[in-house]
Structure 1
Amino acid sequence: MRQAAATLSRMPPIPDFTALGERLRRDGFAFLEAPVTSALLGAPAALGDWPAFAASWNDLAPDTYLAAQGRHRRRRHATFAVGEDGEILRQPHQPHFQSLAYNRLQGDIQRWFEPIEQAVAEGASLQRILAFSRDLFGALAPQARRWHVEVHQFRIEALPEQAGEPTPEGMHRDGVDYVLVLMIDRHNIASGTTTILAPDGTELGSFTLTRPLDAALVDDARVFHGVTPVSPLDPSQPAHRDVLVVTFRAA
């Protein structure tokens, strides 16, 4: 079940890679509608395993850390490194860590999640998304010689008696340099609006990712971001919001 975008502040089209970099430098964030993201990624040819990639969200594991606080989310996680030569290499499985300064809900905890499946990590779609992110963020920060990259598969489940929370920590920064949020699928949900704030609380933009390949790019040092809870359109049917989150931090 699809619904129209509830876009509160629509930005003009971004015609190419260079213009996207200029937008991020100027505004600290960018909203990409699916046709733009598709063109930038070279889809469909460069995303040859997309059906299997999207289907892998059906095999995510419960987030036990969040479940302990009465919230529902499924996820998998992987870490990569980008070297000086630009090569993207998966790293041994390791915990995800954020300090309390960035995550008031689950900071200062080493959180171990189930790893992203090897076939997904090595597949054409994720490899293309990582290469695109490397090229874009590398151009924005040419002084960064190496990158620590984390990849998160998220499924936010909306229940009849409880809305799903894409960002249960509220408006936040992730403690990295750059963030890519890519819509994979949304089914039977309302809301899920992303809001971008300046450090002083001024709203800079607001938009809703509704279609596969809708995307948000964030300069994490400059702006805060958060997503409103999602609720089922039809309470009798399953409801979820699937996104890929990729973070880059200069190493």
Structure 2
Amino acid sequence: MNDSTFNDAMSEITEIRAQYVRERSVFVEGARMVRLLKALGATDADLEKIKLVSDDLPQDPTLPFRKSRNGRFCFDFENSRAYRLEFQPFALSAEEDFVRHDSGQTRIFEEIGDDLQMNTALQALLRFKSLIFRGVTTAHRPKLDYDSPSWICTLFNLRTISTPELQGEPALEGVHSDGVDHTMTTFLGSENMTADSAVTFLHDMRERNATRWNQADPKLLVGQCRHRHFLDTLIVVDHERKHSLSPVEAVDKRLPATRDMLIFFTRKPVLAGHISHPYDSLKAHERLPMAVELPSPTQKRIRAGADVPVLEGAAR
């Protein structure tokens, strides 16, 4: 990677960030993301590999039409790095604008492995997101520690499946928020999915939680988009925009239809009294360590595929 390529990408990312700050959401088309991620260290080989990373996902703990894994990362801007955090259970509550049959439950997801976290395309996505949200002022969520220098990113790798017997719902919960500060959703691919499936609708915060996507007040609709192409990416200020999605529909109704996504939930660490307080460790993962360099907005170049050591203990 030469200085000119990296500098051009950083200039373009600065423009995307400005749109995010101005509009509180931004959709970046996949072809543009491919170019930017390559400038941030992604290799052509890993861009191809990440398309297939969802093929071996296990069954989701609570949703019969979904397969899933997750993993936790820390954005550590003080040391210019992101590192893998130890395993923790996951919880999301109605208090955080998430109303579903499993709201408030402690869920145990199987962990993502090195096939994803060591993929340079995934590492470039972490770098990209860090450049977009770093320093952006947003409405504060209750019981989050905005004095902490750290940010916690929970990454979900998800496959939603529709079959003749089962409707796949990317957002069974209807209108909701994700209980975080910044949500990023990246499309990996689909099979047998109709061209009008899985539309994302953005809603004003006054929209009622759990409202179906097709029953929401059109006066409170503030935008919509659809992930169609590899690496199509949406970033949303999660406590300022709610969202909902339409179902996954099959072209050939006799066969399964699938939709593969990466979802990056990023927030400040929680305070006492938050549902996730027992599950919010900042300790590095001992069995699956990973750390990567995070570029600063003024940096001239990063080393493609660069990693950095996980600091001893890695807790703050």
Query: TM-score band (shorter)?
Result: 0.7 to 0.9
Any runs of at least 4 consecutive aligned residues in structure 1 with deviations exceeding 6 A, and if so which? none
**1:175-205: CA deviation from partner (whole Å, max 9, x where unpaired):** 1010110000011112110000111331111
Which one-letter code corresponds to 2:69 in the other structure? R
CA distance in 2, matches of 1:196, 1:30: 11
CA distance in 2, matches of 1:114, 1:47: 27
Contact 1:47/1:128, CA 8 A, preserved across alignment: no
CA distance in 1, matches of 2:87, 2:206: 37
Which one-letter code corresponds to 2:251 in the other structure? L
CA distance in 1, matches of 2:200, 2:55: 24
Q: State whether structure 2 residue 257 is matched by structure 1 residue 230.
A: no
Q: State whether structure 2 residue 51 is matched by structure 1 residue 54.
A: yes
1:174-213 superposed matches below 5 A: 174-190=178-194, 191-201=197-207, 202-213=220-231
1:103-142 superposed matches below 5 A: 103-105=98-100, 106-141=102-137
C-alpha displacement of 1:164: 0.8
1:40-79 superposed matches below 5 A: 40-42=36-38, 46-48=42-44, 49-67=46-64, 72-79=65-72
CA distance in 2, matches of 1:250, 1:79: 13
Contact 1:186/1:211, CA 8 A, preserved across alignment: no
In structure 2, what is the equivalent of residue 81 of structure 1? 74
Aligned-pair identity in percent equals 27
Which blocks of at least 5 consecutive residues in structure 1 are unaligned?
1-14
Which one-letter code corresponds to 1:210 in the other structure? R
C-alpha displacement of 1:38: 2.0
Which blocks of at least 5 consecutive residues in structure 2 are unaligned?
1-10, 139-145, 208-219, 270-316
C-alpha displacement of 1:141: 4.6
Which one-letter code corresponds to 1:194 in the other structure? T
TM score, norm. by length of structure 2: 0.69
In structure 2, what is the equivalent of residue 219 of structure 1? 237
CA distance in 1, matches of 2:249, 2:81: 40
CA distance in 2, matches of 1:65, 1:125: 29
Specify the SS of the correspondent of 1:140: coil
1:88-99 superposed matches below 5 A: 88-99=82-93
Contact 1:160/1:231, CA 8 A, preserved across alignment: no
Give the number of the structure whose alpha-carbon radius of gyration is greater.
Answer: 2
TM score, norm. by length of structure 1: 0.86
CA distance in 1, matches of 2:233, 2:176: 18
**1:54-96: CA deviation from partner (whole Å, max 9, x where unpaired):** 21200101113123xxxx1000000011222231111111112
- Of 77-86 and 132-141, the range deviating more from structure 2: 132-141
Which one-letter code corresponds to 2:92 in the other structure? Q
CA distance in 1, matches of 2:256, 2:48: 20
Which one-letter code corresponds to 1:213 in the other structure? L
Which one-letter code corresponds to 2:54 in the other structure? W
- Of 37-46 and 130-139, the range deviating more from structure 2: 37-46
C-alpha displacement of 1:163: 2.1
Which one-letter code corresponds to 2:99 in the other structure? R
RMSD of aligned alpha carbons: 2.0
C-alpha displacement of 1:223: 0.3
Q: Which has a greater percent of strand? A: 1
CA distance in 1, matches of 2:241, 2:123: 27
Contact 1:38/1:44, CA 8 A, preserved across alignment: no
Closer, same or farther in 2 for the Cα pair 1:205/1:236, shift >3 Å? same
C-alpha displacement of 1:43: 6.2
Contact 1:194/1:227, CA 8 A, preserved across alignment: yes
Specify the SS of the correspondent of 1:130: helix
